[in-house]
Amino acid sequence: MSRELIFATNNLHKLEEIQSIIGDSFVLKSLQQIGFNEDIPETAPTLEGNALLKAQHIFNIYGKNCFADDTGLEIEALDGRPGVFSARYATDGHDFEANIDKVLYELTGKENRKARFRTVIALILDGSTYTFDGRVSGEIITERRGSAGFGYDPVFLPDGYSFTFAEMPLEEKNKISHRALAVNKLVGFLKSK
């Protein structure tokens, strides 16, 4: 029998993608589908903290199994920034272009351009809490390349590749991305349940 699992997101693309990997033992529900239409404040100082905060918030209200994710770009020479502030690094909104400009400006003249994307998923299942993380290392190049993807993709060159995330077909990015690695860990765990 299928078990219901809430994914604390309204990003239906992410939800469908994860649902297709999980198969039919769990049926995912978005926040909108369970009638939750507020913003959950992401006030924790870490990705783990924010993922846990979102999952806990929904569990406290609905008492149902759920999970949440949070992702950030961590740049070594910037002491891990933008990190938890990746979505709102330059402005309050999700201004991808301004965020990239700010990162490129802050890296001006720096030799070390190493960076990684990291996704953390927090799961609350049958009253216990679990976290899963996925990471992909690479470097921030000096100019944008490519038009696919979103966020910092045009300036992120994954290690071992000559294409930025924005120059890769989505299927290729999905094989190696931080999000895919974290989701695979989550799915592996859920399949064992």
Catalytic residues: 70
Chain residues 9-28 in contact with ligand IMP, contact rule CB under 6 A: none
| Burial bucket for residue 48 (CB in 10 Å: 0-12, 13-18, 19+) | middle
Single out the segment in contact with ligand IMP by CB under 6 A; choices: 56-64, 66-74, 124-132, 181-189: 66-74
Place of tokens 């939750």: 36
β-partners of residue 46 are: none
CB-neighbour burial class of residue 76 (10 A; exposed 0-12, middle 13-18, buried 19+):
middle
Which residues, 6 or more positions from 144, have their beta carbon under 8 angstroms from its beta carbon? 100, 154, 155, 166
Q: Which is nearer to ligand IMP, 105 or 128 (CB)?
A: 105
Tokens 């994307």 — which residue?
117
Interface region with ligand IMP, contact rule CB under 6 A, candidates 21-29, 54-62, 69-77, 120-128:
69-77
The reply on whether position 177 binds ligand IMP by CB under 6 A is yes
Q: Is 138 in the site for ligand IMP (CB under 6 A)?
A: no
From residue 143 to residue 172, the character string flagging contacts with ligand IMP as x (rule: CB under 6 A) and all else as - is ------xxxxx-----------x-------
Residues of this chain that interact with ligand IMP (CB under 6 A) are 70-73, 86-87, 94, 99, 117, 149-153, 165, 177
